[in-house]
C-alpha cells in the first residue's frame, strides 16, 4: 500500500501537469484569437478599401459622361490599375464594360495624343506596366466572351464591345498615333501587338473563339451579326498570318476554328470577304500541306474526335469547292487527308447498337461520345460533305479517266441492242480480255496496258479508296454518295475500261492475284473493283427497262455481258478456291459487293434477257464433280448452291433438288418402309370455305409436320363426307384450289399488272385483319407444292 506522503506527492504532480496544460490551451486560444482578429481586421480593411476604390471608380465613370472633356490616357490607366487590383468578374462586370468603352472612346479622339490610351506604350516609365495592363484587360474580355450568349440581345452588344477591344489592340492599323510622324513607331508597336497576341494564345485564345463561334453558329438560325462574325474570324486569322503560317499555329486554327460546324457556309453567306482573305493567303493549300502528313493528321483527328472531325472535313471540302485550281494542283494531298480522316472515324463506326455506342445522324452507331449540340447544324454539315461526291470534285478527282474518250463508234440509242451495228469493237476486246487464251496480251496491247505501280494507276486507286471508305464510314448517307458517283453517265464505263487495261494480262487474273496478296497495292486495286461494283449495282437498280435496254444509259448491253462474265468467273473462283469460306473484314466486303452486282445483273437478265444462251453457266464445273463435293459435305459446293446456283444447268439443279428432298424425307422418317409408316396429318376441309379451313388447320403445323404426309377429307356444307380416298390426288387438288383462290385479285391479297397481267402484292391487302399471316400461309403452300 502507498504511504500518505507518496499519495500527496502524486496528487501534487498531477495538479501541476493539469495547470500546465490549461496554460498551454489558454495561450493557444489567445494566439488563435489574435490570428482570427487579424484576418477579420484584414478582411474588413480590404473590404473597406475595395468599397472606397469601387466608389472612386464609379465616380470616375459617372463624371465621364458624353458631354464632358475627354479624360487623359494616364487617368484611364490609373483607374484601370485600381479596377484590376480588386477585379471580380461577377461583381465588376459593369465597371469593366465602362472601362472598355472609355478606352475605345479615347482611341477615337482626333489629334489628341494625350487622350489616346495607346500613347502610354511610348512612355519609358509606363511601357511595361501598360503592356501588362492591356494583356490583363484583353484576357478578361476573353473570359467574358466565354460566358456570354449571342442569342441574348444585351449579351450580343457586350460581345461586340469585347471583340472590338481585341481587334483594336491586336493590330496597329487603327492606331492614330502612328499616322504622319508616328509611322516610325510602327515596327515597335507591331512587336507589342505580337507580344499581346502571343500572351492570349498561350492562355487559350482559340478555345475562346471556338466557344463563341459554336454558340453563335451551331443553331437553327445563326445569331452572330456580320460584324461579329467578321471580327471573330479576323482575330482567329491574325496569329496565323503574323507567325507566317507556322505549323504551331495552323494546328490550333484547324482544331478550334476550322472545326466549327459549317463555318465556311456561314462565312460565304454572311461575310464572303473573309473567304477572299483565306483565298488570298492560299490557306487551303497550307491546310492540305499540313494535314497530308499522316502523324499530324492523326494528331488533329484525335484532338477533335469523330464528330468534330466531320465538321473540319466539311469545311475543307467546301473550301476546296471554292478553290478548284488549288484542288487540281493538290489532288493527291487532298485525297490523302480526306481518306485519313474517314479512316479515323471508321474505327469507331459500329454495325449495331450496344451499351458503348451512341447514335450519330451521319455515322450511325458510333462508339465515341457524340456532341448532340451539333445536331441542329448537322443538315449543313451534310450539305458540306456532299461536295465530296458532287460533280465538280468528281471531275477534278477523276480527270485522268474522264478526259479519255472510249474508242467506240457511237450508235443511235433507238437501234435494237442485238443488231450487228451495235456491237462495238473495243467492247468485244473487253469481252475477250477476260477469256483465258494465248491471245489475251495481243488483244489488250492496242488498248494500252498499264502497270499497276504507275503514278496514274496509283492516283485513281487512292481516289477509289477515298470513296469506298466514305461508303463504309458515312453509313447513313450511303445512298446519297452512290447517287452522286453515278450522276455522270460516262464515269462508270470509263472506270471499267480503265480496270480492263490494268496489269500485263488484265482483268480476272490480276484481281485473283490481288486476293492472295496482302499488300497495300492489292488492297487499293480491290477497293477500286468494290467501288465500281457498288456504284454500278446502284445505277442498274434505279434504271428502268427503257433506260437499260433501249437508251442503254452508261453501259451498252454488250458491256453488261462482258461485266457479268467477269463477275460470274470472279465470284466462282472466290468460292471454289476457298477464299469465301474463311472470309472476313475487307475480303468479305469485296465478295458482298461483287456478288451483289452479279445478282442484280442476273435477275435483270432473268426478267428480260440481254445475255446469250448458257451465258451464266460454268462449262468447267461438271455436275458430277459438284454432286461428289456435296456428298462429302464440302463447304465450297454448298456455297456454290447458296450464292450462284445459276452456274449449274437447270435440269441438274432439279435433279439435285429432288435428291436432297428424298434424302431429307428419309432422314426425317417421312418415307413409308416395310417396317415403319410416316406420321400422317388429317385435315377436314369444307369446299365452300376451303381457304379459311386450310388456313386455320395448316398454319399451326410445325415445319416437320408440314414436310410430312397430309391427308385431306372434303365435306359438303351439310358435313357429309365426299367420296374419294386421298392418295395424294385429293391433296394435290386441295393445293391447286388454295393457290388459285389466294392469287385471285378479288381476294385482294394480290393484284395484276395492266399489261401482261403479272401478279404483285396488293397495296391494300391490309384490309384483311391477318394479312401478314395469310402471306406466310401462301408461302408455305407454294413451298409444299414444290417440296412434293
* pLDDT tens digits along 476-503: 999 999 999 999 988 999 999 888 888 7
What is the end-to-end Cα distance of the chain in Å, rounded?
117
- d(CA 746, CA 765) in angstroms, rounded, equals 11
Between residues 65 and 322, which one has the greater pLDDT? 322
pLDDT at 173 (0 to 100)? 87
Q: Are the CB atoms for 375 and 325 separated by under 8 Å?
A: no
pLDDT at 384 (0 to 100)? 95
Pick the closest to residue 240 from 225, 229, 226, 255 (CA basis): 255
pTM of the model: 0.81
What pLDDT, in 10s, does the model give residues 460-472? 999 999 999 999 9
Q: Are the CB atoms for 232 and 212 separated by under 8 Å?
A: yes
Find the farthest-apart pair of alpha carbons in the chain and give their distance in angstroms, rounded.
142
Cα–Cα–Cα angle for 314, 319, 323, rounded to 5 degrees: 145
Q: Supply 736's cell numbers.
A: 391447286
Q: Which of 36-45, 266-275, 458-467, 731-740 has the lowest mean pLDDT?
A: 731-740
Question: At residue 413, does pLDDT exceed 50?
Answer: no
Region at 245 (left for phi over 0; alpha for psi -120 to 50; beta for the rest):
left
Angle between helices 440-447 and 491-500 (to 10 degrees): 130
pLDDT at 440 (0 to 100)? 30
Tell the burial category of 539 from Cβ atoms under 10 Å away from its Cβ (0-12, 13-18, 19+). buried
Between residues 424 and 521, which one has the greater pLDDT? 521
- d(CA 319, CA 308) in angstroms, rounded, equals 17
pLDDT at 417 (0 to 100)? 39
Q: Are the CB atoms for 597 and 644 separated by under 8 Å?
A: no
Question: At residue 554, does pLDDT exceed 80?
Answer: yes
SS3 698: helix
**Lookup result for grid cell 501534487:** 12
pLDDT at 511 (0 to 100)? 85
What pLDDT, in 10s, does the model give residues 563-583? 999 999 999 999 998 888 887
- Helix, strand, coil percentages (3-state) for the chain, rounded to 5, are 70, 5, 30
For residues 523-532, give the mean pLDDT: 93
* Mean pLDDT (the chain, rounded): 85
For residues 726-732, give the mean pLDDT: 69
For residues 716-733, give the mean pLDDT: 69
pLDDT at 723 (0 to 100)? 64
**Strands 680-686 and 709-715, sheet pairing:** parallel
Region at 748 (left for phi over 0; alpha for psi -120 to 50; beta for the rest):
left
Between residues 749 and 716, which one has the greater pLDDT? 749
What pLDDT, in 10s, does the model give residues 299-338? 999 998 878 999 999 999 999 999 999 999 999 999 999 9
Q: Supply 103's cell numbers.
A: 478606352
Q: Which of 142-151, 245-254, 354-363, 581-590 has the lowest mean pLDDT?
A: 354-363
Q: Where are the domains of the chain?
A: 680-787
Domain 680-787: which CATH number of 3.40.50.2300, 3.40.50.1000, 3.90.1750.10, 3.30.70.100: 3.90.1750.10
For residues 762-770, give the mean pLDDT: 89
pLDDT at 757 (0 to 100)? 78
Summary count for the chain: helices (H), strands (E): 35, 7
Q: Are the CB atoms for 627 and 569 separated by under 8 Å?
A: no
- d(CA 694, CA 712) in angstroms, rounded, equals 10
Q: What distances in angstroms separate CA 358 from CA 240, 265, 352, 686, one per listed residue?
A: 36, 27, 10, 56
**Lookup result for grid cell 483607374:** 79
pLDDT at 725 (0 to 100)? 53
Give the percent of the chain with pLDDT over 90.
46
Amino acid at each position: 500500500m502507498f504511504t500518505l506522503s507518496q499519495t500527496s506527492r502524486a496528487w501534487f504532480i498531477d495538479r501541476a501537469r493539469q495547470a500546465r496544460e490549461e496554460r498551454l490551451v489558454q495561450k493557444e486560444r489567445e494566439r488563435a484569437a489574435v490570428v482570427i482578429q487579424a484576418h477579420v481586421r484584414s478582411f474588413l480593411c480590404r473590404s473597406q478599401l475595395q468599397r472606397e476604390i469601387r466608389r472612386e471608380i464609379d465616380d470616375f465613370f459617372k463624371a465621364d459622361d458624353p458631354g464632358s472633356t475627354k479624360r487623359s490616357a494616364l487617368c484611364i490607366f490609373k483607374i484601370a490599375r485600381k479596377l484590376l487590383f480588386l477585379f471580380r468578374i461577377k461583381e465588376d462586370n459593369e465597371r469593366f464594360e465602362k472601362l472598355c468603352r472609355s478606352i475605345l472612346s479615347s482611341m477615337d479622339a482626333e489629334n489628341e495624343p494625350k487622350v489616346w490610351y495607346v500613347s502610354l506604350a511610348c512612355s519609358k516609365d509606363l511601357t511595361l506596366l501598360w503592356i501588362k495592363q492591356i494583356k490583363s484587360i484583353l484576357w478578361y474580355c476573353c473570359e467574358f466572351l466565354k460566358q456570354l450568349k449571342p442569342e441574348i440581345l444585351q449579351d450580343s452588344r457586350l460581345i461586340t464591345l469585347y471583340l472590338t477591344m481585341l481587334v483594336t489592340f491586336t493590330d496597329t492599323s487603327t492606331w492614330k498615333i502612328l499616322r504622319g510622324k508616328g509611322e516610325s513607331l510602327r515596327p515597335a508597336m507591331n512587336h507589342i501587338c505580337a507580344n499581346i497576341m502571343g500572351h492570349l494564345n498561350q492562355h487559350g485564345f482559340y478555345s475562346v473563339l471556338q466557344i463563341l463561334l459554336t454558340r453563335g453558329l451551331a443553331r437553327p438560325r445563326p445569331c452572330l451579326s456580320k460584324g461579329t462574325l467578321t471580327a471573330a474570324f479576323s482575330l482567329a486569322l491574325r496569329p496565323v498570318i503574323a507567325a507566317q503560317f507556322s505549323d504551331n499555329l495552323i494546328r490550333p486554327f484547324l482544331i478550334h476554328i476550322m472545326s466549327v460546324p459549317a463555318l465556311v457556309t456561314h462565312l460565304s453567306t454572311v461575310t464572303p470577304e473573309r473567304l477572299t482573305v483565306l483565298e488570298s493567303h492560299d490557306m487551303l493549300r497550307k491546310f492540305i500541306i499540313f494535314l497530308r502528313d499522316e502523324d499530324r493528321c492523326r494528331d488533329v483527328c484525335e484532338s477533335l474526335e469523330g464528330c468534330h472531325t466531320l465538321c473540319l472535313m466539311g469545311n475543307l471540302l467546301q473550301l476546296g469547292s471554292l478553290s478548284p485550281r488549288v484542288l487540281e494542283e493538290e489532288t493527291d494531298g487532298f485525297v490523302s487527308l480526306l481518306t485519313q480522316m474517314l479512316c479515323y472515324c471508321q474505327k469507331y463506326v459500329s454495325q449495331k447498337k450496344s451499351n458503348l455506342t451512341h447514335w450519330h445522324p451521319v455515322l450511325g452507331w458510333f462508339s465515341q461520345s457524340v456532341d448532340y449540340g451539333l445536331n441542329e447544324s448537322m443538315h449543313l454539315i451534310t450539305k458540306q460533305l456532299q461536295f465530296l461526291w458532287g460533280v465538280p470534285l468528281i471531275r477534278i478527282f477523276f480527270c485522268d479517266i474522264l478526259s479519255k474518250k472510249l474508242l467506240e463508234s457511237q450508235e443511235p440509242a433507238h437501234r435494237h441492242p442485238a443488231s450487228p451495228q451495235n456491237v462495238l469493237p473495243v467492247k468485244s476486246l473487253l469481252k475477250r480480255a477476260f477469256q483465258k487464251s494465248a491471245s489475251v496480251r495481243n488483244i489488250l496491247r492496242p488498248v494500252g496496258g498499264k502497270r499497276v505501280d504507275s503514278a496514274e494507276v496509283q492516283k485513281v486507286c487512292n481516289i477509289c479508296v477515298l470513296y469506298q471508305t466514305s461508303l463504309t464510314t458515312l453509313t447513313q448517307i450511303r445512298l446519297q454518295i452512290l447517287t452522286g458517283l453515278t450522276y455522270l453517265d460516262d464515269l462508270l464505263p470509263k472506270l471499267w475500261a480503265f480496270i480492263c487495261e490494268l496489269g500485263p494480262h488484265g482483268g480476272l487474273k490480276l484481281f485473283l492475284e490481288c486476293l492472295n496478296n496482302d499488300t497495300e497495292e492489292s488492297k487499293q486495286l480491290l477497293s477500286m473493283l468494290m467501288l465500281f461494283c457498288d456504284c454500278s449495282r446502284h445505277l442498274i437498280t434505279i434504271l428502268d427497262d427503257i433506260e437499260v435496254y433501249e437508251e442503254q444509259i452508261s453501259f451498252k448491253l454488250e458491256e453488261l455481258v462482258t461485266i457479268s462474265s467477269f463477275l460470274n468467273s470472279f465470284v466462282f473462283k472466290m468460292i471454289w478456291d476457298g477464299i469465301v469460306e474463311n472470309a472476313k473484314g475487307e475480303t468479305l466486303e469485296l465478295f458482298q459487293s461483287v456478288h451483289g452486282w452479279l445478282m442484280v445483273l442476273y435477275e435483270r437478265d432473268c426478267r428480260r434477257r440481254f445475255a446469250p444462251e448458257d451465258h451464266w453457266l460454268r462449262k468447267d464445273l461438271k455436275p458430277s464433280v459438284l454432286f461428289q463435293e456435296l456428298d462429302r459435305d464440302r463447304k465450297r459446293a454448298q456455297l456454290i448452291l447458296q450464292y450462284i446456283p445459276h452456274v449449274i444447268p437447270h435440269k441438274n439443279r432439279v435433279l439435285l433438288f429432288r435428291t436432297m428432298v428424298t434424302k431429307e424425307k428419309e432422314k426425317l422418317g417421312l418415307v413409308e418402309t416395310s417396317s415403319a409408316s410416316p406420321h400422317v396429318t388429317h385435315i377436314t376441309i369444307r369446299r365452300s370455305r376451303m381457304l379459311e379451313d386450310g388456313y386455320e388447320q395448316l398454319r399451326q403445323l410445325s415445319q416437320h409436320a408440314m414436310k410430312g404426309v397430309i391427308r385431306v377429307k372434303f365435306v359438303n356444307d351439310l358435313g357429309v363426307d365426299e367420296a374419294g380416298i386421298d392418295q395424294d390426288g385429293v391433296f394435290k387438288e386441295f393445293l391447286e384450289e388454295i393457290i388459285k383462290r389466294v392469287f385471285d385479285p378479288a381476294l385482294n391479297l394480290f393484284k395484276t399488272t395492266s399489261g401482261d397481267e403479272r401478279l404483285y402484292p396488293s397495296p391494300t391487302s391490309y384490309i384483311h385483319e391477318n394479312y401478314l399471316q395469310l402471306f406466310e400461309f401462301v408461302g408455305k403452300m407454294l413451298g409444299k407444292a414444290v417440296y412434293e
